[in-house]
Amino acid sequence: MFPEELSARLHKRVTMVDPSAKDQGIFRDDDPSQKTRKLSDQALAVAESLRASTISASVLTGVVRVVDAVTVASLGTLTLLSASGELTVHPLAAVGILLGVVLVTLVFQAADCYQVSVMRTLLPQLTRITISLSVIFGAFLTIPLLLDDRPALPPDWLGLWFGLTLLALLTMRLALAFLLRRWTRAGRLEHRAVIVGGGEAAADLIRDIQKQSSHAIRICGIFDDRKNDRSPAIVAGYPKLGSVADLVEFARIAHVDMLIVTIPINAERRLLEFLKQLWVLPVDIRLSAHTASLDFRDRASSFIGGVPFVDVVDKPVADWDAIVKRTLDLLVASTALILLSPVMLATALAIRLDSPGPVLFRQKRYGFNNEVIDVFKFRSMYHHLSDPLAKRVVSKGDSRITRVGRFIRKASIDELPQLFNVLSGELSLVGPRPHAVNAHTNERLWEQVVDGYFARHKVKPGITGWAQVNGWRGEVDTPEKIHKRVEYDIYYIENWSILFDIYILLRTPFALFNTENAY
């Protein structure tokens, strides 16, 4: 079975659960924290030690590249202005500064100055920086002389530019080396992996990964459904921390980057059953194929050193994508708060005059990776009838809704305080809407209605989303409605791009005119 077939089968899990199924649940008014699976003391201790998030190597090296380029360009410009005593830059000098930035980027890359393992060192890193920079500025001086009898750029300026740039880069790299060493000791620069499936296959994989000394892979533990007689409690020195179902709760606590499944690809039924449980997590899922003779296509495989893996699920909105999305959130949310402040102030005043009680309402809702967060809204119900646990679904003509509340709910003005949630990082502008922890239809929690429901929490929830701009907002009084919402949410996650976010934001004002299901 090929990776494309696995993915196709996974996409089918957003299906309705038979109401007559044996595991049908009834709505319970209990603390959502009590619904979590109980981990063993050992697994819980390991998970707690991994709460701190890791630092993406690609983002780190990208930031260092940008800082180097900005340093070279800014010092080149400042030293030129200082040497010439004028506020204008000669075109030839401007070309020289631009060429210097390009050469620094290319030569530093060729000299491995952007490898994390090199950036952690002191003398080797500083030596590479000094030699590379000397070669670049030496070329600026000598190449024009070989082609002509006079230097193309003023030697005095080049000398000042070179000296200050070298001093600045060496100072920053020295500080970076100490910082990276501290992050390494704290486990922030490692790539955390959990192995699914034990036995000899897991032991072989662990030994192969450990041979890849240049890759900071940390194996955090093993999870397997089989008993100890078939899957030992200790494999190659690593403990078995629980079952695959335990792994889902483990990954809710620990910041894990990748799940590696060691089950043979030909064990299709067992493999799909495991993947069905694991795909709801916001992590990369890889199938170990280091012992299989498979013809990999580039888009279906990846390697850790020389160890091949089949790529089944990629973590959505990771690395630079996450930074771009967060930047958009901050810019748009800040601007929106400024522009909409008169509306928000008027709304707060109207709520205060209409009925006694606080202006804002807090409700427990599911956030990224199933974390429970407090979401802000303008209060639209009478304070003594407020429903923070979402025990009762709001319906048409609901007597709990105030006069002002009915208007602001239809116009979605009640959602505007969630811009503060966006600034705090709990929400995004665009994403699956955050549902209340006890959201239910016909006395059945939504995770019991839709198989794979929690997969919508693989990204941050949003103020608006693909489901909402397609008309799926407001009351959810039938299983089909929550099914369609989750279907659109999964589509958004699997097809995310920054342009997709912008498109949804542009459609949102027009979608607000559809108030058919907004009560």
Q: Report which of 385, 394, 359, 347 is spatially closest to residue 519, judged by C-alpha positions.
A: 394
| pLDDT in the model for residue 301 | 66
For β-strands 372-378 and 428-430, DSSP reports them as: unpaired
Q: How far apart are CA 248 and CA 196, in angstroms?
A: 11
For residues 339 and 458, membership in a common domain is answered with yes
For residues 244 and 266, membership in a common domain is answered with yes
DSSP letter string, 173-238: HHHHHHHHHHHHHTT-SSEEEEEES-HHHHHHHHHHHHH-TTS-EEEEEEE-SS-TTTS-SEETTE
For residues 44 and 63, membership in a common domain is answered with no
List of the chain residues with pLDDT < 70? 1-37, 84-90, 144-152, 213-216, 265-266, 289-301, 304-306, 389-391, 393, 395, 514-519
| pLDDT in the model for residue 139 | 86
Question: Do the Cβ atoms of 215 and 188 come closer than 8 Å?
Answer: no
Last residue of a domain, one of 297, 313, 329: 313
Q: Which two tokens stand for residue 289?
A: 């194929």
Phi/psi zone of residue 446: left (φ > 0), alpha (ψ -120 to 50 degrees), beta?
alpha
517 assigned to some structural domain: no
Question: Do the Cβ atoms of 462 and 427 come closer than 8 Å?
Answer: yes
81 assigned to some structural domain: yes
Question: Which CATH number belongs to the domain containing residue 259 in this structure?
Answer: 3.40.50.20
For residues 164 and 197, membership in a common domain is answered with no
| pLDDT in the model for residue 299 | 46
Question: Do the Cβ atoms of 252 and 224 come closer than 8 Å?
Answer: no
22 assigned to some structural domain: no
Last residue of a domain, one of 131, 151, 185: 185
Q: Round to the nearest angstrom and report the end-to-end CA distance of the chain.
A: 48
Q: How far apart are CA 308 and CA 391, in angstroms?
A: 49
17 assigned to some structural domain: no
20 assigned to some structural domain: no
pLDDT in tens, 362-387: 988 999 988 899 999 999 888 888 77
For residues 372 and 453, membership in a common domain is answered with yes
518 assigned to some structural domain: no
Q: Where are the beta strands (DSSP E) in 352-400?
A: 360-366, 372-378
For residues 71 and 178, membership in a common domain is answered with yes
| pLDDT in the model for residue 31 | 43
Q: Which amino acid is at 115?
A: Q
Q: Report which of 49, 461, 419 is spatially closest to residue 255, judged by C-alpha positions.
A: 49
197 assigned to some structural domain: yes
For residues 308 and 344, membership in a common domain is answered with no
Q: How far apart are CA 262 and CA 9, in angstroms?
A: 19
Last residue of a domain, one of 282, 313, 344: 313
For residues 160 and 270, membership in a common domain is answered with no
Which range of residues forms the domain containing residue 137? 57-185
For residues 461 and 347, membership in a common domain is answered with yes
For residues 139 and 198, membership in a common domain is answered with no
11 assigned to some structural domain: no
The sign of the dihedral angle between the CA atoms of 416, 417, 422, 426 is negative
Q: How far apart are CA 471 and CA 469, in angstroms?
A: 5
The mean pLDDT of the chain is: 83
For residues 387 and 363, membership in a common domain is answered with yes
Show Cβ contacts of residue 195 under 8 Å, excluding neighbours closer than 6 positions.
Answer: 202, 205, 206, 219, 221, 222, 223, 235, 238, 259, 260, 262
For residues 209 and 348, membership in a common domain is answered with no
Q: How many domains does the chain have?
A: 3
